[in-house]
Copies of this chain bind each other. A is one copy, B any other.
């Protein structure tokens, strides 16, 4: 019988190892060793290293997708929607910094699920760009190049995982409002 807690533990420890050494350099043997079990017993829970990568990355991509759906159907202004996007990234990055590192560094090692992952990512970026473009049309956002705005927002938000674990004293809501202030309000007086 499959123990779901053990499977979750495998995924968690694999995420840590993938982050440290990169997906390509980690073997199922390394993973078993790290868990203090035999490599053969890993296969009671998981089929392959690739399956672990899929589980880590597709889960995160789906969390972003469903978070974005909730933001899109809300009645908020477009600037409020952008603030919710910042919160979504802070929340997911702080819940799973290892997974976010793997997402950033190793998504290209996805095999069968690569197309699906890229589709979700493209959809997410399209939705974000729509919020920015509508914000400009509705005069909430300055008339700027939406690609530059999106690039700037996403670069910062995608790098959060590098930064969050070092700043354990910062709470999520506080960090979100500081980021919103910097990213949306600008820094000069």
Residue numbers of A with Cβ under 8 A of B are 22, 24-25, 79, 82, 139-142, 144-145, 147-149, 151-152, 155-156, 158-159, 163, 167, 175, 178-179, 181-189
* Chain B min CB distance to A170 (Å): 9
Contact check, A142 vs B189: say whether CB atoms are below 8 A apart: yes
Q: Given that A152-B156, A156-B151, A159-B159 are known contacts, is A142 also in contact with B179, CB under 8 Å in the complex?
A: no
Q: Given that A151-B156, A156-B156 are known contacts, is A142 also in contact with B178, CB under 8 Å in the complex?
A: no
Contact check, A182 vs B141: say whether CB atoms are below 8 A apart: no
Provide the residues of chain B in CB contact with A25, threshold 8 Å.
24
CA distance A175 to B156 in the complex (A): 18
CA distance A67 to B155 in the complex (A): 23
* Chain B min CB distance to A187 (Å): 5
Provide the residues of chain B in CB contact with A189, threshold 8 Å.
139-142
Provide the residues of chain B in CB contact with A144, threshold 8 Å.
178, 181-182, 187
CA distance A181 to B175 in the complex (A): 23
Could you write out 29 A-B pairs with CB less than 8 Å apart? A22-B22, A24-B25, A79-B188, A139-B189, A140-B189, A141-B187, A141-B188, A141-B189, A142-B186, A142-B188, A142-B189, A144-B181, A145-B178, A148-B175, A148-B178, A148-B179, A148-B182, A149-B187, A151-B156, A151-B163, A152-B183, A155-B158, A156-B156, A183-B187, A185-B186, A185-B188, A186-B186, A186-B187, A186-B188
